Structure 1
Amino acid sequence: MPRRSAPIYLDHNAGAPLRASVREGMIEVLSDTGNASSVHSHGRRARGRLEAARESVAQLCGAKNRAVTFVSGGTEANMTALTSTWRDQGAPVYLDKLFRSAVEHPSVVTGGRFPVGDQVVVPVDSNGIVVAEALKDLLVGAEPGLVSVMAANNETGVMQPLQEIGAIAKEHGHFFHVDAVQAAGRLQIDLDEWQADIITLSAHKFGGPQGIGAVVARSTARVPAPLMIGGGQENWSRGGTENVAAIVGFGIAAQDALEEVSDVSHLAELKSKLELGLRSVCPSTVIFGETAPRLANTCCFAVPGIPAETALIAFDLERVSVSSGSACSSGKVSVSHVLTAMGVDEPLARCALRISMGWDTSASDIDRILEVWPQIVDRLKPDARHEAA
């Protein structure tokens, strides 16, 4: 009986595998006892671990320790940030509108705590990049609001010109939120350069545990009203007993990611090899956002006539895990709102696949993709290998 190949995981944008260092650190905490709010020795030990993790996350973002608030993940982080009620220099501030791009993550598309009528969608170009002039037109003369733009798209990997967007927001008196969930560990985060008032993170995108994230402010003097209230945890910014084990795992993953983010050239080389290989198999392959700045780890592509749902099943049978885009759609393969906003026709959008790499991806993983993909194409659409681009 032929030996089956080892499973390959190439869906890091949905969730990266847990790092061994993170697992070991969390197990150590789970075998201990202590509420970080307690004053006895067990509680103080838990508090020390929590604050050490806070420092590591702050370093990943170039922020102050006290500016980091731990929450349950990226969605809660975005819900916390997306509110019309803020405090600035101790005084309450009420923001009029939410200005968010057309390609945001579903947790931002819902608008957070802004009513539907107070949400304004900012258009993007064919690469999914915010149209700066359109944003400026929306902000000029408008009452102070909140601009929300992701650092990098979870489906295409396309990066936004945050420095330009932040400058526009500041010039016209608006607050600025950056969803940095896909950026953390993959590009340098700089709240000052971006002129971002607040960013949001999720640990499981770069090898930390699921169910833990953070809201990180540029200044503790300008922060959104808490979403979760009921206790004084997190400096009164998020009520509820802290998940110390998950927070410690977050901190360890942040330390590892900070070391890796300075050099992602190996991922860029793997992506280049992958995309050249995909094109050599099918010249008609479309790579979304190809001419825009993209994360080194993300390739979103389609071959016309090969539905994503069918291709995903074929990959899975070969023990290769890839995605059709966002993982936050109840496991359903549907037309991507991101690709729709980019002007991609529905038939092509239904063929979109995403390969996303990370800390454990090797050259042999890409070799395996390029080995099985021609076989899949030959089964699903044999003539695709001869169609011109």
Structure 2
Amino acid sequence: MEIIYVDHAATSPLHPEVLDAMLPYFESHFGNPSSIHQIGRQARHALDQARKSIAESLRVSEQTVVFTSGGTEADNMAIIGYALEHENKGKHIITSKVEHHAVLHACQELEKRGFEVTYLPVDETGRVKLNDVQAVLRDDTILVTLMFGNNEVGTIQPIKEIGELLYKHQAVFHTDAVQACGAVNLNLAELPVDMLSISAHKINGPKGIGLLYVREEIKLRPVLYGGEQERKRRAGTENVAAIVGFAKAIHLAAQTLSERQERYHQFAQVLIDTWMREEVEFYLNGHQTKRLPHVLNVSFPGVNIESLLMNLDIVGVAASSGSACTAGSIEPSHVLVAMFDQAKERIQTAIRFSFGLGNTVEQIERVAIETAKVVKRLKQQEEFIN
């Protein structure tokens, strides 16, 4: 039985060309880039070339790219690193209720250290209102951190407008763009942000590597202590093979962006049209125009979501109920709670389909039909029990 993977927002398969690019750095070019002999210099050259390639893709200078172990470390480095280094300017931070836990838990840690954090509400589409940001902005606000595109419902925040709002304020602006990278165009030459986090494994790159873009004038307190790698900003021997793969993944994502966006919109429409034709009751969650094209979050009223996911898995469909970082949690999605408050039917019956490398129209048609079958069967069982 073919397994159809529609959980690319959790992680994505490694692109074959990315693997090919990485292999030499596990074998012949295995050197430490800090070593001065020729084996080390080979690794240093690969590291420098990868940094240059990524910087060109993002439209930034190479000096602003700091490699990390992934999106979580990048978020922590930006939030905790900036707050601790600049607490003399103020101890107020602004974020939202729908952030990834890498951001939320970093902010909660800062609260334990005496900082004050404002968690902005969102509307029913999952978007922050610009007026709400302006209303809570204070003289002692030093950092605003808001995600670019939500990993559970796909909603894109008004990043450009918020950045422009902060233009003359002391607060720096960080955005978690882990889910947005590879799904939308990230031209940092035009995007008014000071720091931005990305992770490779969401864009068909390897796990365990990410980056933080840090505008040149910004100083961060290191989260890790050790050697002088990454211009003394992130200690530890660089993961050269993964960084080379990261650069290749970003390059491939940029090359195929427009065709993938079109394909993913088509996939979402196939699901929606099929369910409507099959007379399945469902609600779409998240903003339906300002959204990441590869994420579709749907509620099926009256259906136990764990049963739905298990039954889909049995027939070869791998989807999820939200963030992979909270899998197994009995708590409802904090994103959906922020969007719908007490609307349990919306919150407790939501499933996320996310598209990516390898998916075809034929696969998505099968996903749509199998989902409709399972939803109908589970609803009939529930009605029989009641």
Q: TM-score, normalised by structure 1?
A: 0.91
Unmatched runs of 5 consecutive residues or more in structure 1? none
Does residue 105 of structure 2 align to residue 110 of structure 1? yes
Give the corresponding residue for 2:348.
350
Against the structure 1 CA distance between its residues 37 and 30, is the aligned structure 2 distance closer, same or farther, given a 3 Å change threshold?
A: same
Distance (whole Å) between structure 2 residues aligned to residue 210 and residue 237 of structure 1: 21
How far is 1:307 from its partner?
A: 1.7
How far is 1:265 from its partner?
A: 1.1
Does residue 24 of structure 2 align to residue 21 of structure 1? no
How far is 1:59 from its partner?
A: 2.6
Distance (whole Å) between structure 1 residues aligned to residue 66 and residue 182 of structure 2: 18
Pairing of 1:1-389 with structure 2 (within 5 A)? 4=1, 6-32=2-28, 33-83=30-80, 85=82, 94-112=89-107, 114-116=110-112, 117-139=115-137, 141-217=138-214, 219-263=215-259, 264-332=261-329, 334-344=331-341, 345-382=343-380
1:183-239 C-alpha deviation (Å, 9 max, x unpaired): 10110113343310000010000100111100012x222142221121110111100
Distance (whole Å) between structure 2 residues aligned to residue 193 and residue 275 of structure 1: 34
Q: Which amino acid aligns with 2:167?
A: K
Q: Secondary structure at the match of 1:314?
A: helix
My pick for the range that moved more, 340-349 or 303-312, is 340-349
Contact 1:85 1:93 in 2 (8 A): no
Count of residues paired in the alignment: 377
Contact 2:280 2:376 in 1 (8 A): no
How far is 1:378 from its partner?
A: 2.7
Q: Which amino acid aligns with 1:97?
A: H
Q: Which amino acid aligns with 1:98?
A: I
Against the structure 1 CA distance between its residues 374 and 286, is the aligned structure 2 distance closer, same or farther, given a 3 Å change threshold?
A: same
Distance (whole Å) between structure 1 residues aligned to residue 102 and residue 40 of structure 2: 34
Percent of aligned positions with the same letter in both sequences?
34
Distance (whole Å) between structure 2 residues aligned to residue 84 and residue 249 of structure 1: 27
Q: Secondary structure at the match of 2:370?
A: helix
Against the structure 1 CA distance between its residues 151 and 307, is the aligned structure 2 distance closer, same or farther, given a 3 Å change threshold?
A: same
Contact 1:305 1:351 in 2 (8 A): yes
Distance (whole Å) between structure 1 residues aligned to residue 148 and residue 123 of structure 2: 16
How far is 1:276 from its partner?
A: 2.1
Contact 1:50 1:244 in 2 (8 A): yes
Q: Which amino acid aligns with 2:351?
A: L
My pick for the range that moved more, 303-312 or 340-349, is 340-349
How far is 1:249 from its partner?
A: 1.1
How far is 1:70 from its partner?
A: 0.5
Distance (whole Å) between structure 1 residues aligned to residue 34 and residue 88 of structure 2: 30
Unmatched runs of 5 consecutive residues or more in structure 2? none
Distance (whole Å) between structure 2 residues aligned to residue 63 and residue 262 of structure 1: 21
Structure 1 segments, 4+ long, off by >4 Å, are 91-95
Q: Secondary structure at the match of 2:364?
A: helix
Contact 1:85 1:95 in 2 (8 A): no
Distance (whole Å) between structure 2 residues aligned to residue 364 and residue 59 of structure 1: 36
C-alpha RMSD of matched pairs (Å): 2.2
Distance (whole Å) between structure 2 residues aligned to residue 122 and residue 193 of structure 1: 25
Against the structure 1 CA distance between its residues 249 and 125, is the aligned structure 2 distance closer, same or farther, given a 3 Å change threshold?
A: same
Q: Secondary structure at the match of 1:328?
A: helix
How far is 1:45 from its partner?
A: 0.4
How far is 1:349 from its partner?
A: 0.8
My pick for the range that moved more, 50-59 or 32-41, is 50-59
Q: Which amino acid aligns with 1:176?
A: F
Distance (whole Å) between structure 1 residues aligned to residue 188 and residue 209 of structure 2: 21
